[in-house]
Structure 1
Amino acid sequence: MKDFFRNSNLLDCLALRQLSHIKGNWELIWDHENEEYESEENSYAEEVNQLIEELGLVEPPEKYHVNEDGLAEYVIANLNWEINKVNGRWVGAEYALILEQGGFHDIDETNLILAAAGRIKAAMDRNQNHFDDMEQSHQKMLADVIAIILYHRKSP
């Protein structure tokens, strides 16, 4: 898992910049000696390193959409959003917003973690062995899932 995120040029821009209102130091620096992102003040680097480790420990689901669908179904049932699945895609609201709102009930971000691990596995199954090499729309969605996880872990 560490190799998938190693010294990424895009991870911070796509996942962390959207959280810059919480922690202003959103840029990541790769520490070649310690083989992780360098922890800095007011940065998500430590949380990113921990998340990468955690993602490496979980068994990725074959169908990560099941975990994401569970979050969307929570939004329908508990927040009364008028969203529905059409041809395999959720419509009626921005997908990342659906996952973010559904994630508020996701204990320890379990569904989000499994969704991220499943997305990484799907990328690697397609020989996209690094975050920077992912197909662009899937890369953006994985970045959003990572941002949502970090946001929920830092929310009061």
Structure 2
Amino acid sequence: MPPKAKKNPASGSSNSFYEEQQLADDTVILEEKLKALKRVYLARMEKLAEKKQQQLELEKTVSTCGEGLQLKKDERTDVLTDCTRVYKVDEQKAVREVAKLDASLNDLQEAKRKTQSKIEECTADFDNRIKGKKREYEFLCERTANMEKEFATLLSDVAQSAP
């Protein structure tokens, strides 16, 4: 609060009354603040007690889980050894199978390459045959057109010479 303005000394008794009233008000305010701080402190202490209880429960759970974990580790070691043996046998089988498949793949790729070259040869041969047949067809069409013209000329000559 801003400081209060000083009053005349003539009103000294009223000034002390106001000071006493101000002190009483300040005391009440401070008591209320103290009560509020105590409530906050108690709430925090309760939360702290709850957290401590949770921590103790979690430590107990961790301890129990640690014991169970050690038992499982011991079991896992035995299982892991057996699994390693089985894995190595399976790996050897897989390597042999991969080698067979690789050889088979190489053979198939070689056969594919040969077949592809035969297809290309046949395609070229058929293309050449088709081109030859087209030329022959064009030649025959041209020859037929010439024969039609000659036949039309003959018909027109016969038609003109006929009485």
Choose 1 or 2 for highest CA Rg: 2
Structure ranking higher in strand proportion: 1
TM-score for both structures, normalised by structure 1: 0.17
- The structure whose RCO (Cα within 8 Å, separation 6+) is larger is 1
Whichever structure has more helix as a proportion of its residues is 2
